[in-house]
Structure formats: structure tokens, C-alpha cells
Structure 1
Amino acid sequence: MNTLLAKVEYKWIILTLKQSRATTTTACKAQVSTLPPEPVIPSKKPFKVDLLGGKRYSWCSCGHSKNQPFCDGSHKSKAQGLSPLRFIPEKDGPVWLCGCKHTNTPPYCDGTHKQDFIASASLHQDID
């Protein structure tokens, strides 16, 4: 009786190990990215806007907003992992906000749109 029980336990252990190994192998085939999505390029030129000092603004960092250069919440469904940049200008006046979404000084334009990788890229066009 003990021998029979030992054989059954042994087979159960082997089957359990085979199943967990198959599950692990299958799980490893899935491609999971931890990198945030890249922004799309809605404009190859900056946006000149008049801002009020002390007021909070939300600059679109994903490029999907229909209210460029400001956020309209599109990132929640189209670019999860990206979020708007909230900023408060110190004084009233006109500024140039980045339209290509690749500036090194967000939200302000730094001329990155003049580089070849932006100049040769296609503009994003929403098909909603």
C-alpha cells in the first residue's frame, strides 16, 4: 500500500512540475515592455501662445491632444505611460511651446524640430 501511494505521489509531483514548466515557458514568450510609449509628432513647428503668470497649464507630452499644445486627456487611452507636463509660468507673455514633443527643455521649444529625425518624420494624423 505504501509503495502504491509513493508511486501516485511521485506521478503527481512529476505532472505538477511539467505543468508549471510549460506555463513558465509559455509566459516567457510574451513580450512585455517597461519603456513608456514614444510621443507622436503633431507639429514640426512650435506653438506661440500667450500665457498668464501664476496660472497652471498642462502641456501635452504625448502628441495626441486635439487641443495642441495643451493636454485634453488623450494620453489616457492613446499613450498610457505618458502624462502631461504641468507648469506655472512666472510672468505673463508670449512663449514658444514645443510642437514636436521631443524638446530637451519641456514644455518650451529648444529647436529640436530642426533636426533630421524630426524633419524626416511623418506628422501624426488622428483618425477618429
Structure 2
Amino acid sequence: MNPLVTRIDFKWTRLTLRQPWRTAIAGTKVQLSTLPPEPVVPFKKPFKVELIGGKRYSWCACGHSKNQPFCDGAHKTKAQGLSPLRFVPEKDATVWLCGCKYSNNPPYCDGTHKQAFVLSATLHKHKDS
């Protein structure tokens, strides 16, 4: 092969290997962003609710609703970034819906309300405006 081509390939390889290093140094600027708000704890126990199969429900995920455990739209002003969880049960059922808002199986209670961080949390009080 032509020695000139080999030298060009070698230089190209050297530049390619060095480029990520230069990018890493130049790209060390940290960009801060606002995290979505954490839900407040309105109740430390689940809600026993009778659901109708095929009906659409909106479970409050922020904890600000005055219509717990269901959403009343309070997240639009008090917890922007959190949205209700909408669900439709397949059949009529009596279920336990999460009241602490930290369930790992929302909207259903999974016992998270028994953990220390929920037990020690201050209950959210609604302010009448």
C-alpha cells in the first residue's frame, strides 16, 4: 500500500482517540434542573374503596387533593410536575388504595405506610382559601 495512506490513517486514529478526552474536559459544566416535587403524606393508612369495573378513576399522586384518595386537580397549582394516576378496573372490586402516596404499586397499597419515613412524616393539612 501507499505509505501516505498509512500515515493519514494513523493520524486520523490518533485524533479520534484524543477527541473524547478533550470533550470530557470541555463538557464538565454541570447543568442544574428542578426536580419534580415529592408528594405530601395526607394519610398514613390506606383507603378501603369499592370500585366499579369499567369506570375511569384518577388516584391523587401528590397528596394535595381534598377528595382523597382521588384527584381534585390540586396538583395543577400545588404540585406542578406530579399528575394523577388514571386507571380503569376490569371488574367491580373492593380494594385498598394508597393513602401515603409512596406505594411501589400505585394506586394500590403495598404496606409502605408502615415504614419509618412515612410514620415519622408530618401529615399534610389542607388550608382553606
TM-score (norm 1): 0.74
2:69 corresponds to: 69
Tell me by how many angstroms 1:32 deviates: 5.6
Tell me by how many angstroms 1:70 deviates: 0.2
Give the whole-Å Cα distance in 1 for the aligned partners of 2:127 and 2:86. 27
What is the identity, as a one-letter code, of the residue corresponding to 2:103? Answer: T
Aligned identity (percent) is 79
Tell me by how many angstroms 1:33 deviates: 3.5
Give the whole-Å Cα distance in 1 for the aligned partners of 2:104 and 2:121. 18
1:112 corresponds to: 112
Give the whole-Å Cα distance in 2 for the aligned partners of 1:121 and 1:33. 26
Aligned length: 98
Tell me by how many angstroms 1:127 deviates: 1.7
TM-score (norm 2): 0.73
Give the whole-Å Cα distance in 2 for the aligned partners of 1:42 and 1:66. 9
Equivalent residue runs for 1:21-32 within 5 Å: none
1:80 corresponds to: 80
Tell me by how many angstroms 1:109 deviates: 0.2
What is the identity, as a one-letter code, of the residue corresponding to 1:71? Answer: C
Tell me by how many angstroms 1:114 deviates: 0.1
Give the whole-Å Cα distance in 2 for the aligned partners of 1:68 and 1:38. 17
Give the whole-Å Cα distance in 2 for the aligned partners of 1:63 and 1:70. 9
Deviations, residues 33-84 of structure 1 (Å, cap 9, x unaligned): 3311000000000000000011110000000000000000000000000000
Unmatched tracts of structure 2, length 5 or more: 1-30
Large movers: runs of 4+ above 2 Å: 31-34
Give the whole-Å Cα distance in 2 for the aligned partners of 1:52 and 1:73. 22
Give the whole-Å Cα distance in 1 for the aligned partners of 2:70 and 2:110. 17
1:127 corresponds to: 127
1:54 corresponds to: 54
